[in-house]
Amino acid sequence: MATTNDTATSSHASHSCHSSTPSPPSSNPPSPPAPPSPAAPPTPSSSRPSPPPPLPSSSTTSSTCTPNSTVSTRPNSFLRFAPTRSVVTWTALVAGAVQNGHFSIALIGFANMRREGIQPNDFTFPCAFKASACLRLPVAGKQLHGLAIKDGQIRDVFVGCSAFDMHCKTGLRDCARKVFDEMPERNIVTWNAYICNSVFGGQPQSAISAFVEFRRIGGEPNWITFCGFLNACSDTSNLQLGEQLHGFVIQCGYEVDISVANGLIDFYGKCRQITSSESVFVGICNRNEVSWCSMVTTYEQNDEQEKACFVFLRARKEGVEPTDFMVSSVVSACAALAGLELGRSLHALAVKACIEKNVFIGSALVDMYGKCGSINYCERAFDEMPERNLVTCNALLGGYAHQGHADMALALFQEMTCGSNEMVPNYVTLVCVLSACSRAGEVKMGMEIFESMRGRYQIEPGVEHYACVVDMLARAGKVEEAYEFIRKMPIRPTVSVWGALLGACRVYGKPELGKVAAENLFELDPHDSGNHVLLSNMFAAAGRWEEANLVRKEMKDVGIKKGAGCSWVSVKNTIHMFQAKDTSHEKNSEIQNDASKAEEGDEGSRLHT
């Protein structure tokens, strides 16, 4: 999940070393976990166009990007000056190493303390458990657990909670459940650990059940509990339960808590209740960067890209510093809008903020440039990333396919799956590849890839893959074969599948098959005027005017109207929209005059020639 400035505070103030108590699921929308650093596959360059002007570079801002100096990697040397080294001294060393992210050093310090015959206490164990959890070392965690049982410390509520958290984070969920059940005492920290780890572990229903049980025994939730429960509701798309919790939050007086409010924005956004997210956002008095980021992501995830960009610009005007998650969300919005101008400005902002090397921002930039038609910039952004993952390669692959560079997309896929830096493709990868095969007319290769999905890649074909195959066959003129493929589909064909067939029937003059496709489209989406218009035009092209007029009459009888043509242009970060026969634009008269002059100039040039 995306990082947040809101940090959990332990209800047991004196146990300052109990940092192993888990933080709640973040109140802002989830961000993918930090990926590994696989070497990126080489990008085909034989057919690349000439390079564009350089992208924004971080070289001019390197002086502001120097990392903070780290603590010494030899903390034991400081202990040589201590006249006596007690459990307090060693615990301070272990806790300090954990708090600064030096988890291996923390475990080494713990081992050295044991070599000196010093017994760890209820402050030391939670720090050691957290170090094991962060390093994902289940064996070390089990050894610590055994030592805590031997010393009798496991019955302490904070030691037990830390042991439970460690087992969850190292994937030992059965052991974690046993630790939880055997705990003689459970406080709110313990219940929060259970709820949050259930959400992180992909078991939101277990988190909901734990919250209900916690309330049944009279537990009073805090902001961490509420945030965890909201994440469980959003993961299960349980709008009704989340709305009930919202009422309980107000009853408890937690609606003013910034973390809970951010969690509500995220929850309503994931449940596609934009109005509710806006209401919560407006009611926050002191918004932080997570609040703004949650609202931006809510708009972006619900296809309100223009509002996402607008909220981001408002946040910048109020002095909110850009974060990696916020910038990547707005860049994705620019990709959907094909807003190249704003996208390049965001790229420059990321460079200035020293976050352009982040793999998620880099992937979003590659995707944005590809969808905006700037393949050169797309490749440049890809090449300049210090680390890349499968999402990055999928973005470049999709950019190639989207812009019709099918040969380059197929070459990249070959290098991804057969090169020295082999990657295992996922669902999205194969959608991009099949789309590229469709555009390139590579029917044989496309069918081979489709038929190998289950056996070679262990991926069950989805509706997007079937739609790509239908489109591929239809584009190649194999309309009847495409129809037979649809009939044999194990899942119900969707609008995209029948739409691909209808479009091909229009191109290749197959009105009878087109009528079948149109009837299925009318059943799936009866209010889409485009399907009716396409069917009518197909009949007209075949000289079947009576049937064409009948389709138009049916549209009129049902009340379906063809949507007006719409176009837009972005000028100085302002989007200007135009519709057919619309004269409402503030500069309409100037635009009409310039258009008339342009037409007169074209007519004059034709007369001279």
* Residue 242 in this model has a pLDDT that exceeds 50: yes
Cα dihedral 505, 511, 514, 515, rounded to 10, equals 170
Mean pLDDT computed over 400-425: 84
Model confidence at 34: pLDDT above 60: no
Q: How far is the C-alpha of 169 from the C-alpha of 141, rounded, in Å?
A: 10
Render pLDDT for 466-497 as a digit per residue (tens, 0 to 9): 999 999 998 888 989 999 999 999 999 888 88
What pLDDT, on the 0 to 100 scale, is given for residue 338?
85
176: its two tokens:
């974690």
Instruction: Compute CA 301 distance to the chain's CA centroid, rounded to the nearest angstrom.
Output: 9
Take residue 260 and report the two structure tokens written for it: 């809970």
Q: Which residues contact 506 (CB under 8 A, 6 or more apart)?
A: 514, 534, 537, 538, 541
Over residues 502-521, the mean pLDDT reads: 82
Mean pLDDT, range 521-541, rounded to an integer: 70
**CA atoms of 560 and 555, how far apart (whole Å):** 5
Q: Once rounded to an integer, what is the mean pLDDT over residues 157-180? A: 91
Long-range pairs of 587-592 with CB within 8 A, sequence gap ≥ 24:
none
Q: Assess whether pLDDT exceeds 60 at residue 428.
A: yes
pLDDT at 570: 67
Q: Which of 24, 18, 22, 19 is nearest to 1 (CA)?
A: 24
Residue 36 scores a pLDDT above 60: no
User: What 3-state DSSP class applies to 373?
Assistant: coil
Higher pLDDT among residues 575 and 452, named by residue: 452
> 582 or 384, which is more confident?
384
563-608 residue pLDDT tens:
566 777 767 666 777 777 777 777 778 888 887 877 766 555 555 5
Judged on CB neighbours under 10 Å (0-12, 13-18, 19+), 119 is exposed
Place of tokens 């691909």: 500
- Given this model, what pLDDT does residue 63 score? 39
pLDDT at 231 (0 to 100): 94
Following DSSP, what letter does each residue of 70-94 receive, concatenated?
Answer: PPPS-THHHHTT-SS--HHHHHHHH
Q: What is the pLDDT of residue 62?
A: 40
Residue 171 burial (CB count, 10 A): 12
Give me the domains of the chain, ranges plus CATH numbers.
18-28+75-185 (1.25.40), 462-563 (1.25.40), 567-609 (no CATH)
Q: pLDDT at residue 194 above 60?
A: yes
- CA dist 151 and 128 (Å) reads 15
> Concatenated DSSP letters for 113-153?
HHHTTPPP-TTHHHHHHHHHHHTT-HHHHHHHHHHHHHHTG
